Amino acid sequence: MVAQEIQLGSASGPHKAHVDLLSDAVEVKAGEAQVVELRFRVQDGFHINSHTPKDELLIPTALQLNAASGMKIVDEQYPKGSTFRLPLDKTETLDVYQGEFRVSVRLVAPKGSSTLTGALKYQACDNAVCYPPKTLPVVVAVTGR
């Protein structure tokens, strides 16, 4: 309860984050390429560009992962975005993530406990304003069985 209040309190500040990491631990079969889904949630009322925005001037959402010792990151697969139109824009649409979205990461993990670390780079807007690009730290405990 206290942790939740602190999280939401900071989100109402001037330099708030707009995306939360929902995954904190995954289990995989050790020593084999496995796909794990990292779950993120864009906060209500906001959207972020998908990994493949339509306009090259827009900043794509991108996950940058660091391979821990004994772990190998094979690749990442991003979900398709949804179509979004700014209320004042009668002509163009955007390709965005809203609500929960999942990035699939194919990795090979060692037996035992290790940690997947990295960062999600994104840039958020709402219907009328945009916020500077932000970086969300990603830390996920990986258990290889």
Partner 1 sequence: MLLIAGVTLIVMAGTHNLRHRQMVMQKAQQSEVQLSPASSGSDPSEDPAAKALLGKPAPSFTLVDLDGKKVSLADYKGHPVVLNFWATYCGPCKLEMPWFQDLQNKYKDKGLVVLGLDQDDGMAVKEVAAASKRVGVTYPILMPDDKVSKSYQLSDYIPETFYVDKSGKIVEQTIGAHSKDELEADVQKAIASGGL
By CB under 8 A, the residues from 61 to 100 that bind partner 1 are 86, 88-89, 94
141 Cβ neighbours under 8 A, 6+ residues apart: 24, 25, 26, 113, 114, 115, 116
* CB of 54 or CB of 102, closer to partner 1: 54
Interface residue with partner 1, options 23, 28, 38, 46 (CB under 8 A): 46
Does residue 135 bind partner 1 (CB under 8 A)?
A: no
Q: Strand locations in the chain, DSSP E?
A: 19-21, 25-28, 33-42, 47-49, 62-66, 72-77, 82-84, 94-97, 100-108, 112-122, 124-125, 134-144
Query: How far, in Å, are 22, 63, 89, 129, 135 from residue 38 at the CA level?
Result: 8, 10, 33, 28, 16
Count of positions on this chain that bind partner 1 (CB under 8 A)? 30
* Least distance between partner 1 and beta carbon 12 (Å): 4
Residue of 36, 116, 125, 140 interacting with partner 1 (CB under 8 A): 125
Work out which of 62, 126, 136, 143 binds partner 1, going by CB under 8 A. 126
* Segment interacting with partner 1 (CB under 8 A) among 33-41, 75-83, 111-119, 124-132: 124-132
Length of the chain: 145
Q: Which helix (H) or strand (E) holds 10?
A: helix 2-11
The residue ranges that bind partner 1 (CB under 8 A) are 5, 8-9, 11-12, 14-16, 43-46, 55, 57-59, 86, 88-89, 94, 123, 125-133
